Amino acid sequence: MSEALDTFSASTPAAGRSLGNCTRCGGPVDVRTRHLVIEGSAVRIFCSQACASAPIELAPPPPTGRYSALRHLIHVAVGVPMLVFTSGYTPRTAPLRIPAAAASTAAVPAAPPEPPTFGPAWPPSEQDWQAEMASDVWLHPLDGPKRRMPIRDARVFGAERPGDRPGECRGGHCGVDLGGEVWGEPVHAAHDGVVDRVQRGPNEDHGGLYVRLSHRGGTIFTQYFHLAAIPRWIQPGTKVKMGEVIGLLGDSGVKHSSAHLHFTVSVKPSADVPERYIDPEPLVALWPLRTTIGGAAIVTASAAPGVPLGAAGGRSHHKIARATTAPIGDADGASAAE
């Protein structure tokens, strides 16, 4: 309305001034017209009462210098697609597609972390093996009723020894030395197994006569060194039962001490994991004993447990563990002979 008034000068008489055309008949509307219809915030003007008494739909305003036909067409061309886009309308036959540029810049959620794994560590530690073997029935290799344990520091696992030794043996003794009170007493298989190796010939530099047994499908091995004799039926591949006599205690291959049994335990959980020694002292401290009562041989678990000398801290004179190239259980038993 102000735009229509702005087109007239102040000197123009009020009579004859026009506010534009009537929305009903298109005729001129005098500035003094009283034919107005107010609908909310909109004001409609008419040239006469006849036109004002019959409301009609307003026609779109004619194009002016400030609103050209070209601009109107541009607004329509832009507005219709925007209306379709913002209204959420999607043709059924046109699947929704994400532009390549938008897809490349969209944030990709991080993959969820893998679930934690459960079960024992791999490969099993020495403590794992000791716990596993303690849960099964094994036998002390020497008869009771007295439980034979290492009696001094030089006989425990890891005690100082010359030469290169496996690192897990703390660079020293790879087993424990048991007994020796009775030369020629029987030595028993600690568990069911298969004879893996037998050394009957001269072997003074590497432990003398010995037997190596394989247990649990080749995952655990026991070795019995310094034997005085080995039964003839003990041959590689022969099956043995726990408690069977596999040799007699002696001093073959012993250089600096009296007769005794050098006993070792080694483990190899799988073909791709190297074989390694573990400390057998905590095991023989708990294993049942074979003894004779009234002329009958029995196995009893009632014997008092032994006290591991190594666990009591008797290793102050041992060498610090170091790397080694000596193989475990080589042909002449060099790595675990003393």
Question: What does the alpha-carbon distance between residue 172 and residue 101 come to, in Å, rounded to a whole number?
Answer: 68
Beta strands in the chain (DSSP E): 18-21, 28-30, 36-39, 42-45, 176-178, 186-188, 193-199, 209-215, 220-229, 239-240, 245-249, 261-267, 276-278, 289-293, 296-300
User: Which domains are present in the chain?
Assistant: 2-75 (no CATH), 126-336 (2.70.70.10)
**For residue 119, what pLDDT is reported?**
59
Percent of all residues in the chain with a pLDDT value above 70, rounded to a whole number: 64
pLDDT exceeds 90 at position 141: yes
- pTM of structure: 0.59
Instruction: Please check whether residue 206 is in contact with residue 337, taking contact to mean a CB–CB distance below 8 angstroms.
Output: yes
Adjacent-strand bridge partners of 30: 18
**Phi-psi group of 145: left, alpha or beta (phi > 0 → left; psi -120 to 50 → alpha; rest → beta):** alpha
pLDDT tens digits, one per residue of 82-132: 544 444 444 555 555 555 554 445 566 677 666 655 556 777 887 887 787
The set of residues, in sequence order, having a beta carbon less than 8 Å from that of 56 and lying 6+ positions away, is 23, 24
pLDDT tens digits, one per residue of 271-321: 899 999 999 999 999 999 999 888 888 999 888 999 888 754 444 444 433
pLDDT tens digits, one per residue of 20-47: 788 778 788 776 777 777 666 667 777 8
3-class SS of residue 131: helix
